[in-house]
Every structure is written in structure tokens, then in C-alpha cells.
Amino acid sequence: MDNLIKICGLSTPETLEAALEAGADMVGFVRFPKSPRHVTLDLGHRLSLQAKGRAQRVVLFVDPSDEDIAQAVEAINPDLIQLHGSESPERVAEIRSMAGRPVMKAFGIAEKSDLQALTPYAETSEHLLLDAKPPRTAQGLPGGNGVSFDWKLLNGLDPALPIMLSGGLNPDNVAEAIRLTKPKAVDVSSGVESSPGLKDAAKIKAFVQAARTAFAAQH
């Protein structure tokens, strides 16, 4: 499905409700202790119940173990698994099979050659999420750093690839990003926050509206 809008890193009932009311198609919960957006299994369970039937629920991992996956599938019951580490295509296929859920794979992009990594994952991944490579100051956080990459790098990319654009998006630039790259979906985390890990309801609403308008303009 095209034209999906994902709000990632939600960690409170209030900000999740803001995302759901704004019309987000996907809501993301982070299972990565280093992240300021990390949620416990118990909180993830409660947030998942809140979102059930209202948006697709995504759980984000970074190089998870089989146990990590099993625990989150049982507690949070996500609709999709997001992998934000160095998982190989074979590992993505394993996790997809084990979890019984579709998977989206994230890639750090800084130069044209980074896009060569996408093709081996296209068969096993529902979405190929393109994020900016983390800056050196990111302290081990592979995403959610509020940095964008040069969108012109995507010129000439196979339009059939299920691209989800991420990295440095916010309410002010998402329309331009969609116009330039024509992705199937967009993803935001830090771009709708007032401080690291703290989502802002007004920014979420503005982001969803801007993205929805930009997607509609393409048709």
C-alpha cells in the first residue's frame, strides 16, 4: 500500500493518541534500551492495545536476539517488525518466519553507493526504510537523530522498490521530501518532538497533514 505515514518512537498514551487522532497509518514502539524512546514490554503491551485496529503497530529492534523477538511478539503483538541494525538478508528472513509478521528493514544512507544494499532485502522486506547514517555524536543510536541525507541520491532508484523515507523529516520539509523522492511511505520520530523522546501533539498533527497533502498532490 502506498502513501503511508508512520510516527515512530511513541512512548506515552497521550502522544500515541495524538498520532492516532491525526490519522497516522503506522505507529512505532522502540525496543532498544539506549534510545530515549525505549518502551518496556508492559508499556508496549498497553500502547499496542490502545492502537489496535486504529493503525498498524510496528516494533523497532536493533540486531535483536530470538528471545527479544519472541518476547515482544507475545507482549506487544505488532503488525510489523522493524529492524534497524546490521541484520543480513538471511537474518531478516529468519525473523520474518519466526515472528510470523512482515518486516521492514532500515538502511543508513550517506552516498549513492549505500543504495546498493537495498536489492538483496527487497524480497523479504515489506518496506525498505531509508534513514540518514548517524552522525559521530549519535552515541550508538542508529536512528532518531534528526538528520536527513541528500534526497537527490534517490534519483533513478527503481520506483518499484517499497521505499519508506525517514531521517530528518519534520512538518516543514516533509512535503518537499515527498515531491522530490516520491516514496511509498514516510517515517518521522525526532522531527515531531519537543525534546529527545518527548513527542509534541501539534507537531504530529502538522506532519501528518503536510504529508497527506503532499501525497495527494502526486495523484
What's the CA gap between 170 and 114, in Å, rounded?
Answer: 23
Residues 5-61: pLDDT tens digits? Answer: 999 999 999 999 999 999 999 999 999 999 999 999 999 999 999 999 999 999 999
pTM value surpassing 0.75: yes
Cβ distance 36 to 197 under 8 Å?
Answer: yes
Q: If we measure between CA atoms, which residue out of 104, 152, 112, 142 comes closest to residue 1?
A: 104
pLDDT attached to residue 76: 98
Total number of residues shown for the chain: 219
Q: Which helix (H) or strand (E) holds 98?
A: helix 89-99
What's the CA gap between 5 and 203, in Å, rounded?
Answer: 14
User: Looking at residues 75-95, what average pLDDT do you find?
Assistant: 97
The structural domains of the chain, ordered by start, are: 4-217 (3.20.20.70)
Q: Point out the residues that are catalytic.
A: 8, 131
Instruction: Say if residue 138's pLDDT is above 60.
Output: no
What's the CA gap between 15 and 202, in Å, rounded?
Answer: 10
Please state, as a whole number, how many other Cβ atoms lie within 10 Å of the Cβ of residue 85.
14
pLDDT attached to residue 219: 80
pLDDT attached to residue 136: 61
